[in-house]
Amino acid sequence: MDMGIIKILKTLYHAKLLNYILEAIKENLLTSSSVAKEVNERADLLQAAQFIAKNWRRMSTKIIQNCFACCGFRHSDLEMLNKANSENDIL
C-alpha cells in the first residue's frame, strides 16, 4: 500500500523538480546545457523538503483511499471498524 502512495509522491516531486529546473533556465539562472552538478547546486535540501511538503498537501484523500483499496481494504471496512470502536466506547 505504501508503495502506491510513495510512487505518486515521487512522481509529483520529480515533476516539481523538473518545473523548478525549467523555470531556472527561463530566468537565465541555468543554461540549457547545464550539467547535473550545477543543477544540484541550485536545488538545496530545504527546497527538496518544500517540494515534498507541497506535493503531500496536493495528494487527495481519494488517492490514499485507492491505495488502501488495492490492498483489499474497503471503505465499508473502515465504517465497520469505526462502528465497533464507538460501541466499545459506549460500553
Q: What percent of the chain shows pLDDT beyond 90?
A: 1
**pLDDT of 91 above 60:** no
Distances (CA, A) of 40 to 12, 30, 79: 18, 11, 46
pLDDT in tens, 30-61: 676 666 666 666 677 888 889 899 988 888 88
**pLDDT of 84 above 80:** no
The whole-model pTM stands at 0.60
Distances (CA, A) of 44 to 36, 40, 58: 13, 7, 21
